[in-house]
């Protein structure tokens, strides 16, 4: 279970964004008179997916083969990088979800005007961007007690769910408030990113062998019950939120130092945008 919940959340969120992008592209080109546009979109999408899979396998293989201080250094860098990229992605989507359809339509028009073949590049870039981000987040979600297989299984489940939701959006048969979905999954991902940030700081503390009591003493130690190591609840919370039954002070401080200001700004700093008419909910009908 450790890592599976994180993998599911990551790919559900990222996979839905990919599905939404494809639904918008396919829905728009279906209304155009040019022939063969759908085939070009799927070629670009397939190429992007294949590239992301290859990149994921290579990264997992490289990270999995490291040990000792090399492993701590790489895991620390990956965790902090993933937290940074994830934070940027959360706020970017929060601010730009409403205008995504118009922007994609403009890119499609430009691509078809220049050369219908460049539509493959539009699809490739749209899918590859999310795919490479997903690889980074999944690597960051892997822990010492979570196998890569668990993370991948959770990720596949998330992709399956997001694919079904993407089809629903494309068919336009249900009213889906896409903006609210991104808002609340974004809030969950902030908690996940806080765990990544704290994990990165933890790895660097161990790498630098900083054992001063001010930073290395345990805030609490839980040795039994559902929150202790070896239990399902512990594994789920560890993979999804970075839970530790015996965290050192610097890890808890890092978690709160990220979570409190970022979540506060997410709900208050962006609220001015949600008060405007331009930020009304984006539905499946509008997306298609």
pLDDT at residue 263, rounded to an integer? 92
Asked whether the predicted pLDDT for residue 273 surpasses 80, the reply is no
Percent of the chain past pLDDT 70, that is, above it, reads: 82
Residue 248, beta-bridge partner list: 218
Residue 233 contacts residue 261 (beta carbons within 8 Å): no
For the stretch 73-91, pLDDT in tens is 888 888 898 889 889 888 8
pLDDT at residue 204, rounded to an integer? 92
Retrieve residue 108's tokens: 């499609």
Q: Minimal CA–CA distance to 88: which of 189, 178, 161, 3?
A: 189
Task: Give the torsion sign (CA, 28, 29, 31, 32).
Answer: positive
Burial of 278 (0-12, 13-18, 19+ CB in 10 A): exposed
Our CA dihedral for 164, 169, 175, 181, rounded to 10 degrees, sits at: 70
pLDDT at residue 134, rounded to an integer? 82
Q: CA angle, 153 as apex, 256 and 228 as ends, to 5°?
A: 45
Distance (Å, whole) CA 179 – CA 163: 18
Q: What is the mean pLDDT of residues 217-244?
A: 81
pLDDT at residue 157, rounded to an integer? 85
Distance (Å, whole) CA 192 – CA 177: 23
At residue 103 the predicted structure's pLDDT band, cuts being 50, 70 and 90, is confident
For 72-138, give the DSSP string: HHHHHHHHHHHHHHHHHHHHHHHHHTTTHHHHHHHHHHHHHHH-TTHHHHHHHHHHHHHHHHHHHHH
Helices (H) and strands (E) in the chain, counts: 12, 0
Owner of token pair 């997306």: 287
E strands along the chain, which residues? none
Residue 258 contacts residue 198 (beta carbons within 8 Å): yes
Asked whether the predicted pLDDT for residue 92 surpasses 60, the reply is yes
Q: Which helix (H) or strand (E) holds 4?
A: helix 4-29
Q: How many CB atoms lie within 10 A of CB 20?
A: 27
At residue 279 the predicted structure's pLDDT band, cuts being 50, 70 and 90, is very low
Q: Minimal CA–CA distance to 219: which of 193, 244, 237, 239?
A: 244
Q: What is the mean pLDDT of residues 189-213?
A: 89
Asked whether the predicted pLDDT for residue 15 surpasses 50, the reply is yes
Asked whether the predicted pLDDT for residue 62 surpasses 60, the reply is yes
Residue 120 contacts residue 44 (beta carbons within 8 Å): yes
At residue 183 the predicted structure's pLDDT band, cuts being 50, 70 and 90, is confident
pLDDT at residue 282, rounded to an integer? 45
Residue 227: phi and psi, rounded to 5, are -90, 0
pTM: 0.72
pLDDT at residue 116, rounded to an integer? 65
At residue 97 the predicted structure's pLDDT band, cuts being 50, 70 and 90, is low
Q: What is the mean pLDDT of residues 64-77?
A: 79
Asked whether the predicted pLDDT for residue 256 surpasses 50, the reply is yes
């Amino acid at each position: 279970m450790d890592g599976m919940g994180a993998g599911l959340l990551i790919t559900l969120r990222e996979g839905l964004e990919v599905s939404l992008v494809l639904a918008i592209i396919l829905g728009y080109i279906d209304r155009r008179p040019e022939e063969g546009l759908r085939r070009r979109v799927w070629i670009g999408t397939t190429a992007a997916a294949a590239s992301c899979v290859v990149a994921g396998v290579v990264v997992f293989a490289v990270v999995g083969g490291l040990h000792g201080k090399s492993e701590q250094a790489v895991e620390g860098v990956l965790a902090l990088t993933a937290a940074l990229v994830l934070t940027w992605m959360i706020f970017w989507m929060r601010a730009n979800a409403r205008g995504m359809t118009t922007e994609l339509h403009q890119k499609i028009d430009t691509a078809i005007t220049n050369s219908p073949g460049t539509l493959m590049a539009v699809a490739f870039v749209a899918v590859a961007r999310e795919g490479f981000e997903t690889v980074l987040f999944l690597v960051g979600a892997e822990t010492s007690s979570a196998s890569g297989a668990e993370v991948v299984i959770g990720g596949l489940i998330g992709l399956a769910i997001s694919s079904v939701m993407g089809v629903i959006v494309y068919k336009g048969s249900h009213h889906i408030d896409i903006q609210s979905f991104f808002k609340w999954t974004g809030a969950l991902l902030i908690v996940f990113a806080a765990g990544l940030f704290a994990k990165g700081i933890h790895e660097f503390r161990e790498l630098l062998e900083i054992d001063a009591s001010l930073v290395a003493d345990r805030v609490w130690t839980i040795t039994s019950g559902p929150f202790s190591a070896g239990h399902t609840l512990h594994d789920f919370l560890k993979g999804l939120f970075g839970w530790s039954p015996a965290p050192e002070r610097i890890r808890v401080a890092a978690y709160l130092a990220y979570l409190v200001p970022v979540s506060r700004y997410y709900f208050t700093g962006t609220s001015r945008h949600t008060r405007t008419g331009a930020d009304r909910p984006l539905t499946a009908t509008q997306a298609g």
